Chains A and B, each alone.
Chain A
């Protein structure tokens, strides 16, 4: 079960049980929806962006522990960050999950998701929230799909 403990670390289980920023922002100025048709995970993401800085971030939806924890920790991690920094963090998380070297450097607490690398079918569970975030920042009209 050691691999499983790498995947389901206590931090992830905790965010699954008590997701942070699990709410709707009524006056959000950037929103997007994401969907993983493979497992039915759904996320609605709400952002308040002022002067190029993410002032508030929240989400609602349903999904597995990995996807819920990913959305929870992502929203917590991007609040207060300027848009270019959020974009850079997205790329570092993506590289950690799919890149050749798997460097977990410079992603802070999000390093808990490094173990997902070993479970290829679950990588999209983490990236769904991030792709939805990117869509919200870019003002995409269509819902994001992992497929």
Chain B
């Protein structure tokens, strides 16, 4: 497979046929508690199209082998498929080189890699890392660990009552001590789409590198790392219609070259003696041990699938879903939406007066509606908005307006139980 072989099979003027798209997702066609499944938890993990399932089955049925070492045909095929997946992902993100695409377990591991490798090399006592108040724990805790180890300081950009980054505060926090900005592109808890281009531009004015947490962006929009000019970009495969256990760290070659390895082991070395080990070239320097070969292939299939649907059209349809869901939930007395950013992904985080999110989650589940109830691995966000937890309905292109009506009716049902 070559990147040039990937074409968009859907004509841009074709209507969005959600029923046809739903047929690609076998898991959606089931009943839970005697009700049709309404899956509104794609921000936690997305469902997988048949194309991804088939890619995994085909790999394990036909090509399974270890990569980068065997002289036999299966190893050559597995290596070609694994490196083909890397090329597909490079193409999808418009990275300059496959050397900049490092396979990791998920966004969390990508951030931890940058923390351990970049952080240990370039961050020292008195230095500062800038994050925002709407980060996932995965983009908070590694930096806290680094700051504690190095005597550095974590600075947090606040958000306003809509859940938008306060840009004036961001600008004030940037300075000569800032060694890295680590910021989300789309908030998992609120759906806020941050002005990431502006965030990167302002940091670069002061030569500060930027890591972007794209876990909630890649599944829903096109991402061009060269246009963004970000220094690092991470995302998880399982939220982008691929398998669990695989993710990607994009890093600019000039940074990755200067960074020490993350973990030691096989594959990341050129030569080992007890006196000295020579590290492998990029990206293998950062891929110790046998990688998740099938996962990489499955993730590439997932990205290929959404590219085939058309990411612009996905965005357009999801904006319609968001408007529909916002209208339906806002009409229910006692519902308060948490996170009302003007530029927002298809996420509805909300609370219902007098009903705890955990109870609401159970009641919705009994109606077949799968949502996340809790703090969404973003406890500081909950504290900012003064709620212990929210219910989060997160939508994607396989959801329908009818499903959102089922959600709204189930929320009404909860109100009645607790009335």
Contacts of A40 in B (CB 8 A): 374-375, 379, 382, 388-389
Contact of A22 with B by CB under 8 A:
no
* Minimum C-beta distance from B406 to chain A (A): 14
Contact of B373 with A by CB under 8 A:
yes
Residue of chain A at shortest CB distance from B416: A1
Output the residue of A7, A39, A125 with the most chain B CB within 10 A: A39
Q: Is the CB of A65 within 8 A of B389?
A: no
Q: Is the CB of A65 within 8 A of B366?
A: no
Known pairs A39-B373, A40-B382; A66 contacts B359 (CB<8 A): yes
Partner of A13, one of B33, B389, B418: B418
Q: Is the CB of B359 within 8 A of A3?
A: no
Residue of chain B at shortest CB distance from A2: B366
Q: Is the CB of B356 within 8 A of A64?
A: yes
Q: Is the CB of A65 within 8 A of B363?
A: no
Counting chain B residues whose Cβ lies within 8 A of the other chain, the interface size class is 20 to 34
* Minimum C-beta distance from A91 to chain B (A): 25
Total chain A interface residues with beta-carbon distance under 8 A: 23
> 8 Å CB contacts to A: which residues of B362-419?
362-363, 366, 373-375, 379, 382, 388-389, 413, 417-418
The B contact surface, by secondary structure, is helix
> 8 Å CB contacts to A: which residues of B262-278?
none
Q: Is the CB of B359 within 8 A of A64?
A: yes
> 8 Å CB contacts to B: which residues of A59-109?
62-66
Contacts of B358 in A (CB 8 A): 39, 41, 63-64, 66, 122, 125
Contacts of A64 in B (CB 8 A): 356-359
Q: Is the CB of A4 within 8 A of B363?
A: yes
Contacts of B357 in A (CB 8 A): 39, 64
Q: Is the CB of B356 within 8 A of A63?
A: yes
A17 to B355, CA, bound (A): 10
Q: Is the CB of A4 within 8 A of B356?
A: no
Residue of chain A at shortest CB distance from B375: A40
Report which B residues bind A (CB closer than 8 A).
33, 354-359, 362-363, 366, 373-375, 379, 382, 388-389, 413, 417-418
Supplied contacts A42-B388, A63-B358, A122-B358, 8 more A-B pairs, CB within 8 Å? A3-B33, A3-B366, A39-B358, A39-B374, A40-B382, A64-B358, A65-B356, A65-B359
